[in-house]
């Protein structure tokens, strides 16, 4: 709580510094020439986080598409898609290549965590159980209960902090997913090696776990996660924070009042403000985001079709 500026998953130091350095000049310029004045935005995700999320999207969509063709190989769709992807063999290469990217993303994230801990000279305790931790805690439980009440008009909307409980759930779902799907995936990738010490029928079990867990991941991401973070009516059509890294201050105040207040209280808000991206960048990001979203929705439709209408 005391080391407010060094908790988990803050924008990277240099970016914060850059934002802080820019701030007075920007304010000055805005005062001098009001026409060019642009409201600065709160930097929620640093560049590495954004990059990792983008890598995650690309690899996840690739994995899902190629993997589901195999899972739903009994549908015409799968055969067509497999052919579009360059045949099953190529689909397999894509799948494994994407898996490597995802592993890379995962490891990079872990390394980054470790490095930010070192850089901020944090203890494990403050990293894992500090105020901005991603590990669910009592606060999250209270917020969850309060949210339920709010849903049912029994109470006000809770004052969320930096990470809401559903964001934490999403975060650990990925951890869990990567661990489960990754392990079983590796077993299936190197069956000869793994059967040196595992029974052959474990491959069958691994297949079931791998594919069902993947189904869970894709299904969850493309419905619940999409809704939670991108498609909520109040953010409709899309919340691009994870891509731009920036959110409006007003939004921060509204959505994460506890974090905003903590920052203001510590007088650190200015450090976290930055100029918005140029239009071209924002537009590019939107194209990418919409594409990913569209692919995701197609996959959901396909899953529903395969599970409900063509299941065998």
| Contact call for residue 229 and other proteins (CB under 8 A) | no
Cα-based torsion angle of the residue sequence 99, 105, 108, 112 in order, rounded to the nearest 10 degrees = -150
* Residue 51 touching other proteins (CB under 8 A): no
Specify the residue for token string 């105020």. Answer: 131
Using CB under 8 A, which of 54, 113, 146, 216 touches other proteins? 216
- Contact between 282 and other proteins (CB under 8 A)? yes
Query: Order of strands across the sheet with 273-274?
Result: 246-247, 41-43, 273-274
Q: What is the spatial distance between Cα 138 and Cα 210, in angstroms, rounded to a whole number?
A: 32
Measured CA distances, 203 to 193, 195, 206, 218 (Å) = 11, 8, 5, 22
**Residue 295, interface with other proteins (CB under 8 A)?**
no
| DSSP-derived 3-state class of residue 238 | coil
Q: How far is the CB of 302 from other proteins (least distance, A)?
A: 15
288 in contact with other proteins (CB under 8 A): no
3-state class of 7 per DSSP? coil
- Phi-psi domain of 153 (left: phi exceeds 0; alpha: psi -120 through 50; beta: other): left
**215 forms part of the interface with other proteins (CB under 8 A):** yes
Strands 246-247 and 41-43: antiparallel
Q: Which residue pairs from 206-211 have beta carbons closer than 8 angstroms and sit at least 24 positions apart in sequence?
A: 209/180, 209/184, 210/180, 210/181, 210/184, 210/185, 211/67, 211/70, 211/71
Q: Nearest distance from residue 17's CB to other proteins, in Å?
A: 24
**Binder to other proteins among 171, 220, 288, 305 (CB under 8 A)?**
220
Residue 79 binds other proteins, judged by CB under 8 A: yes
Contact string (CB under 8 A) for other proteins, positions 234-273, x = contact: x-x---x---x---x-------------------------
Residue whose CB is less far from other proteins, 200 or 267: 200
- Tell me the closest approach of the beta carbon of residue 266 to other proteins, in angstroms: 25
Question: What's the min distance (Å) between Cβ of 18 and other proteins?
Answer: 20
Query: What is the C-alpha separation between 52 and 227, in angstroms, rounded?
Result: 21
Which residues 149-178 are close enough to bind other proteins by CB under 8 A?
Answer: 150-152, 157, 166
Lookup result for tokens 């974090």:
259
Q: Should residue 224 be labelled a site residue for other proteins when binding is judged by CB under 8 A?
A: yes
Q: At its nearest, how many Å lie between other proteins and the CB of residue 2?
A: 34
State yes or no: residue 38 binds other proteins (CB under 8 A).
Answer: yes
Q: Note the residues at the interface with other proteins (CB under 8 A).
A: 37-39, 41, 69-71, 73-74, 78-79, 82-83, 87-89, 91, 148, 150-152, 157, 166, 188, 191-192, 195-201, 203-205, 207-209, 212-213, 215-216, 219-220, 223-224, 227-228, 232-234, 236, 240, 244, 248, 276, 282, 312
């Amino acid at each position: 709580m005391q080391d407010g500026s060094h908790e988990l998953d803050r924008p990277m130091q240099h970016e914060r510094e850059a934002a802080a350095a820019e701030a007075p000049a920007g304010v000055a310029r805005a005062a001098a020439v009001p026409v060019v004045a642009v409201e600065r935005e709160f930097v929620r995700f640093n560049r590495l986080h954004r990059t990792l999320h983008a890598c995650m999207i690309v690899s996840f969509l690739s994995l899902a598409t190629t993997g589901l063709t195999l899972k739903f190989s009994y549908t015409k769709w799968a055969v067509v898609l497999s052919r579009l992807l360059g045949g099953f063999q190529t689909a397999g290469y894509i799948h494994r290549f994407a898996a490597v990217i995802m592993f890379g993303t995962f490891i990079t994230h872990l390394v980054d965590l470790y490095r930010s801990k070192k850089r901020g000279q944090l203890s494990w305790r403050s990293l894992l159980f500090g105020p901005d931790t991603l590990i669910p805690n009592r606060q999250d439980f209270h917020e969850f209960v309060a949210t339920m009440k709010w849903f049912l008009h029994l109470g006000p909307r809770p004052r969320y902090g930096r990470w809401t409980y559903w964001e934490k759930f999403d975060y650990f779902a990925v951890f869990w997913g990567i661990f489960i799907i990754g392990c079983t995936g590796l077993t299936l990738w190197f069956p000869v090696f793994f059967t040196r010490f595992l029974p052959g029928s474990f491959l069958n079990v691994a297949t079931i776990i791998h594919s069902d867990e993947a189904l869970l991941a894709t299904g969850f991401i493309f419905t619940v996660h999409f809704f939670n973070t991108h498609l909520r009516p109040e953010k409709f059509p899309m919340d691009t924070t994870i891509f731009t890294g920036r959110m409006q201050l007003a939004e921060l105040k509204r959505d994460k009042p506890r974090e905003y207040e903590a920052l203001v209280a510590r007088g650190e808000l200015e450090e976290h403000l930055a100029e918005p991206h140029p239009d071209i960048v924002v537009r590019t990001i939107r194209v990418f985001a919409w594409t990913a979203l569209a692919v995701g929705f197609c996959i959901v439709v396909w899953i529903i079709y395969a599970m409900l209408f063509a299941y065998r």
